[in-house]
Amino acid sequence: MKFEDMINKVHCADCLEFMRQIPDKSIDLIVTDPPYGIGAGMEKEHNGWKDYGYNTWDLNKPSKNVFNEILRISKEQIIWGGNYFIDYLYPSMGWIVWDKGQRDFSLADGELAWTSYQKALRIFTVHRANALQDGKEHPTQKSLEVIKRCILYADRGNKENDLILDPFLGSGTTAVAAKELGRRFIGIEISEKYCEIARQRLRQEYLPL
């Protein structure tokens, strides 16, 4: 597949094999939330998560080869759950902390994203229920607001038409956020079910910013 034919599309594929087709540093920014390999989906009965019918999503941590490809093809990266992938990444100042706006419930009070940026750490307070308002379809689906803030943290809002890729697209939030902010996108997701959900979300009409 030609590189230009990949853009502004959701691809049902293994992300490692797909990324191997992408030229070096041709992606402006990767924003992604890989599985952490902690088996969280299998514990839904104990941690209060809704059963989305996709309970094996977090059984395995991606290989180092996946992260090598992420770093090869992109100029900058924002990787949620970066604390689980320290052995694959390098020291960075620019961490993002998502404060979920609620304390002492069954899941964590917040989440951490590693970024490639050598600039100040930032804390975003966005209530975890916002993802439900978006129409939550995936166990780890983050709200549009959280992902938009990531993109704006990365470029301070002045890089329209940049190309953003998510190799673990899930239900499509990164692609939707990119579209709403005037960026181009490439989405990769191994599950056909979630690819179709992402495509449906992208077909919807969105109000201008």
Q: Where are the domains of the chain?
A: 3-203
Beta partners for residue 112, in sequence order: 97
- Kindly report, residue by residue over 180-190, the tens digit of the pLDDT: 999 999 999 99
- Kindly report, residue by residue over 155-173, the tens digit of the pLDDT: 765 678 899 999 999 999 9
Does domain 3-203 sit in CATH 3.20.20.150? no
Is the pLDDT confidence value at 178 over 90? Answer: yes
What was the pLDDT predicted at 207?
Answer: 42
- Kindly report, residue by residue over 13-23, the tens digit of the pLDDT: 999 999 999 99
- Kindly report, residue by residue over 43-88, the tens digit of the pLDDT: 544 455 555 555 555 567 999 999 999 999 999 999 999 999 999 9
Percent of the chain at pLDDT above 90? 69
Is the pLDDT confidence value at 97 over 90? Answer: yes
Task: State the Cα–Cα distance between residues 186 and 86, nearest whole angstrom.
Answer: 25
Task: State the Cα–Cα distance between residues 108 and 209, nearest whole angstrom.
Answer: 31
| Closest C-alpha to 189, from 200, 181, 177, 198 | 198
